[in-house]
Amino acid sequence: MIITDTHTHLYSDAFDEDRAEMIQRAIDANVTRFFIPAIDSTYTESMLQLEKDFPEHVFLMMGLHPTSVKENYKEELRIVDDLLAQRKFCAIGEIGIDLYWDQSTLGIQIEAFRHQINLAKQYKLPIVIHCREAFDEIFEVLEQEKSDDLYGIFHCFTGDLQQAQKAISYNMKLGIGGVVTFKNGKIDQFINQIDLKHIVLETDSPYLAPKPFRGKRNESAHIYKVLEKLAELYGKSHEEIASITTENSKAIFGI
């Protein structure tokens, strides 16, 4: 059984004390594919080191996270441009709009999002979308930019059934993580109405740990709790959920 974590920040300083051991725990638990989203240039060196240390397991994205879209965003986007021109990445991500922390940057967040969508089209890569309190704004951009060659993952999906269906209509798979195990997460109330072909697994570690680890540091091995919950909701075996979601990740990332 192969389990794929489509979104994990393995370079986070939360793992500085035990990174290698934490990754090995995940590998021992059959989580053998780790897709690593970018945030901004301050993490690039750490990401490249991860790939060097775990070349068979770690796959890197490139992009500028919406909460890092600040005064220097044009400089950060130039770095993204340059890195994409220099070497291969598996996706453009994580990109999008976040209105939880700062609504004043909405205009430049949209500009950065649109710029990176165009990079994805240019390099024929998927996008990995970060959306926090910004479904309407994200959908507006996707509606304007939609095309057959725009596809990817709606990371950490926390919307309702209608929003899930809308995301899927834009060629997006839904990244399902620890929130599906929360009592107040609400995703568990409708997710089994979505065909499994649209679902991928993720942790977003070190954030959003599933029950019974909620409130603690998340890690990729904990993705098993997400898998268990989906198996319960869909009435499928753990092996089936792992197989289908891993194949879905391969369809997106080409790896």
Annotated binding site: 7, 9, 94, 130, 155, 204
218: number of CA atoms within 13 Å, CB side?
A: 26
Per-residue tokens: 55:
């070349």
Residue entry with tokens 């490139």: 62
Q: Is 64 within 8 Å of 76 (Cβ atoms)?
A: yes
Cβ-based burial of 162 (10 A; exposed 0-12, middle 13-18, buried ≥19): exposed
Give the pair of three-digit tokens for residue 145. 């930019």
Known binding-site residues for a divalent metal cation equal 7, 9, 94, 130, 155, 204
Task: Give the Cα separation of 108 and 173 in Å (integer).
Answer: 26
Of the candidates 52, 9, 1, 66, the residue with the CA atom closest to the CA atom of residue 27: 1
Measured distance CA(21)–CA(154) in Å, rounded: 29
